[in-house]
């Protein structure tokens, strides 16, 4: 006897198909940007500044300010990081037979750097590389999920967990699974930002990831808004090398949205604030 789908069954099947298609679309978009997460450019190690009040920063307005002379504003000197060089301090040790302690210690030390407010941006990128090279991303994800459950008030744990999900995307080929991980990452980034709106890693990585979602999902305005917020927050702090990336990505988002004049303005401002950044110099020069 031939089985005929009833209207409720057909509707349910349609929802399942649409959900799978949605995940595939996101996965395909994330694949295009995996090189960014796996091959992040390195920056000089500096101390992280204290978080800023987002409400105070928001009073400056949503749009980046016009380019102003900044020659009198020197870049801060690079200072010694509070933590030792990551590769030297947490490189995995060889485990003796029947003793997994060195391996566990490596994982614990590495994750501790990823969630530490005192760790520099470069140190965290080095820690991610060590985890990828050691094949420990799954263990790091499990550790971060456990820490997030144990301390739900910490914004640093979900911020690192979101990055771990995206790092994991770079090690798998299943596009649907990549879409699931991308959705999970976006969700925990939101958790981090609800706890600490000034968490740079969470907002920046969320915005970059969203910029790779397909245009049909209409994330362009949200991407721009996140980068605008980052610019406002950054300009209330002492500049740090990784902050240059925000101006580059915001300009790209403007350009993608057909807002060329705003792209030019933000690239020029970024190049003025970070004259040593070759990417911003190139982008600013291309608009002249």
**Rg of the chain's alpha carbons, rounded to an integer?**
21
Please classify residue 193 by burial: count the beta carbons closer than 10 Å to its beta carbon, then call 0-12 exposed, 13-18 middle and 19+ buried: buried
- Residue with the larger pLDDT of the pair 214 and 16: 214
Paired tokens of 216:
């049909």
CA distance linking residue 109 with residue 123, whole number of Å:
12
Evaluate the CA torsion angle 192, 195, 197, 200 in order and state its sign.
negative
Residues 44 and 28: their CA atoms lie apart, in Å, by 32
Contact present, 130 and 110 (Cβ < 8 Å): yes
Q: Inform me whether the pLDDT recorded for 61 exceeds 50.
A: no
Angle, nearest 10°, between helix axes 200-211 and 244-256?
30
- pLDDT at position 71: 37
Full residue range of the structural domain in which residue 144 is found: 19-53+80-90+99-217
Q: How many CB atoms lie within 10 A of CB 88?
A: 7
Of the pLDDT bands very low, low, confident and very high (cuts 50, 70, 90), residue 176 is: confident
- Whether residue 24 is contained in a domain is answered as yes
Terminal-to-terminal C-alpha distance of the chain: 72
Residue 197 C-alpha from the chain's centroid:
14
Q: What phi and psi, each to the nearest 5 degrees, are found at residue 43?
A: -125, 165
Write the pLDDT tens digit of every residue in 83-114.
444 444 454 444 444 444 557 889 999 999 99
Q: Identify the pLDDT of residue 70.
A: 38
Query: Does residue 66 lie in a domain region?
Result: no
For the chain, what is the largest distance between any 2 Cα atoms, rounded to a whole number of angstroms?
Answer: 83
Structural domain includes residue 72: no
pLDDT for 173 equals: 87
Q: Mean per-residue pLDDT for 70-83?
A: 37
Query: Does 162 score more than 60 pLDDT?
Result: yes
11 has pLDDT over 80: no
In-domain check, residue 124: yes
Residue 282 confidence (pLDDT) above 70: yes
Task: Tell whether 259 and 127 lie within a shared domain.
Answer: no
- Gap between the Cα atoms of 182 and 100, Å rounded: 32
Average per-residue pLDDT for the chain? 77
For the ranges 94-98, 189-193, 209-213, 233-237, the lowest mean pLDDT is seen at 94-98
Q: Out of 217, 235, 267, pick the residue that ends a domain.
A: 217
Q: Rounded distance, CA 106 to CA 100, Å? A: 10
CATH number of domain containing 40: 1.25.40.10
Rounded CA-CA distance 183/206 in Å is: 10
**If pLDDT is split at 50, 70 and 90, which confidence band does 59 have?**
very low
Same domain, 210 and 225: no
130 in the Ramachandran plot: left (φ > 0), alpha (ψ -120 to 50) or beta? Answer: alpha
Task: Say whether 127 sits in a helix, a strand or coil.
Answer: helix
Mean pLDDT calculated for residue range 167-172: 90
122-152 pLDDT tens trace:
999 999 999 999 999 999 999 999 999 999 9
Instruction: List, in sequence order, the alpha helices (H) in 91-174.
Output: 101-114, 121-134, 137-150, 156-169
Distance CA 180, CA 192 (A): 19
Q: Are residues 285 and 208 in the same domain?
A: no
Same domain, 286 and 181: no
pLDDT score at 7: 59
């Amino acid at each position: 006897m031939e089985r005929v789908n009833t209207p409720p069954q057909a509707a349910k099947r349609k929802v399942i198909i649409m959900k799978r298609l949605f995940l595939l679309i996101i996965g395909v978009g994330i694949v295009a940007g995996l090189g960014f997460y796996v091959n992040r450019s390195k920056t000089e190690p500096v101390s992280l500044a204290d978080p800023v009040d987002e409400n105070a920063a928001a009073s400056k307005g949503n749009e980046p300010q016009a380019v102003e002379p900044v020659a009198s504003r020197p870049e801060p000197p690079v200072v010694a990081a509070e933590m030792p060089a990551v590769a030297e301090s947490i490189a995995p040790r060889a485990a003796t037979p029947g003793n997994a302690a060195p391996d566990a210690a490596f994982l614990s030390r590495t994750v501790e750097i990823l969630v530490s407010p005192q760790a520099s941006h470069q140190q965290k990128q080095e820690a991610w590389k060590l985890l990828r090279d050691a094949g420990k991303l799954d263990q790091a994800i499990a550790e971060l999920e456990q820490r997030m459950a144990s301390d739900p008030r910490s914004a640093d744990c979900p911020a690192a967990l979101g990055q771990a999900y995206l790092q994991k995307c770079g090690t798998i080929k299943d596009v649907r699974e990549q879409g699931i991980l991308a959705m999970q990452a976006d969700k925990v980034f939101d958790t981090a930002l609800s706890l600490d709106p000034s968490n740079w890693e969470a907002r920046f990585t969320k915005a970059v990831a969203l910029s790779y979602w397909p245009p049909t999902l209409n994330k362009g305005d949200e991407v721009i808004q996140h980068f605008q917020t980052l610019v406002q927050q950054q300009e209330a702090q002492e500049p740090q090398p990784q902050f240059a990336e925000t101006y580059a990505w915001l300009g790209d988002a403007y350009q993608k949205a057909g807002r060329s004049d705003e792209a030019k303005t933000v690239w020029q401002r970024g190049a003025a604030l970070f004259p040593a950044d070759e990417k911003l110099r190139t982008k600013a020069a291309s608009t002249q």
